[in-house]
Amino acid sequence: MKKKSDRVDTLFHKGKVLILAYDQGLEHGPTDFNLLNIDPQYIMDVGLEGRFSAIAAQAGIAEKYHVDHYKDVPLIVKLNGKTKLSKEDPLSLQHTSVDYAEKLGAIAVGYTIYLGSNHEQQMLVEFGKICEEAHQKGLLAICWMYPRGSNIQEEESTETIAYGTRVAMELGADIIKIKYNGDQEGLRWIVKAAGKAKVVIAGGSKKTDYEFMQMTREVIDAGAAGLAVGRNIWQHKNPLLMAKVLKEIIFNNKKPQEILQELKNHKY
């Protein structure tokens, strides 16, 4: 059995990570996709050719598409999920086991917690047990931490995000995926609140290229370990180019202005 430290070495390069997220189909429905990127095969091609650190997907995608040479891209299996159809306080319970994720070849498992929901206790308990199981198998545990629900007044406040980050770390998360609220100094504090757990930033909805490049620079400078990006890659007209650009910022510490100049000089 591989050790958890081996999985860290597989996932991270220079202490940083760029994850291709493709778990939106269950959560958002098909409205995020066009005729090209609705096909999981296309996403697997992007993940492989773009040399992403890993691809995050639900088990059904993994078992059908993360096969053969696509296994060269490390796999993160989401263990829970919910649709957007219910208007009640969010509850996302486990539907895939850690055992099955391991059989699919995952190096890590992911789980979403909606902190502040009336149902948060169920998710906290489930994720704590998932961390135990994952670590016993040498897998990493990733928490998608989204404060949301009737008990949350400001889900994007720095204090609320920091609280969620700390909760995830204390439950056993190795990596914590959060939203960036634009407060760079606040993010430095959030990263500190995570302790030895790594903080990665959600890509969110599609932005302009420069906006996304600038956001990436800001969060890396604040101490984030990288990004978990979906729509800003596979909704892009040139996803492989965007992947190269993000990797230059994340792994090679380049500034957006440098990259724009290099693009003008046709260096990519």
Q: Could you give the 3-state DSSP secondary structure of residue 18? A: strand
Residues 6+ apart with CB under 8 A from 124: 113, 167, 171
Is 207 a residue of the active site?
A: no
Domain that holds residue 198: 4-264
What residue spans of 172-238 are helical by DSSP H?
184-193, 209-221, 231-234
Is 16 a residue of the active site?
A: no
Task: Indicate which residue of 4, 16, 177, 198 is catalytic.
Answer: 177
Whole-structure pTM value: 0.96
For residue 132, the model assigns a pLDDT of 98
For residue 87, the model assigns a pLDDT of 86
Number of Cβ within 10 Å of residue 175's Cβ equals 27
pLDDT digits (tens, 9 = 90+) for 71-97: 999 999 999 999 999 889 999 999 999
For residue 265, the model assigns a pLDDT of 79
Please name which of 213, 205, 162, 207 lies closest in space to residue 183, comparing C-alpha atoms. Answer: 162
Cα dihedral 121/124/126/129 (nearest 10): -130
Do residues 2 and 136 make contact, with C-beta atoms less than 8 angstroms apart? no
For residue 69, the model assigns a pLDDT of 94
Interstrand relation of 106-113 and 17-21 (parallel, antiparallel or unpaired): unpaired
CA distance 51 to 74: 10
CATH number at residue 88: 3.20.20.70
Q: Which of 52-56, 212-216, 263-267 has the lowest mean pLDDT?
A: 263-267
pLDDT band at 186 (very low <50, low <70, confident <90, very high): very high
Tokens of 28: 């958002």
pLDDT digits (tens, 9 = 90+) for 5-35: 888 999 999 999 999 999 999 999 988 999 9
For residue 268, the model assigns a pLDDT of 61
Mean pLDDT of the chain: 96
CA distance 219 to 187: 7
Name the domain count of the chain: 1
pLDDT digits (tens, 9 = 90+) for 120-145: 999 999 999 999 999 999 999 999 99
CA distance 111 to 66: 19
CA distance 56 to 228: 8
Task: Indicate which residue of 111, 114, 146, 180 is catalytic.
Answer: 146
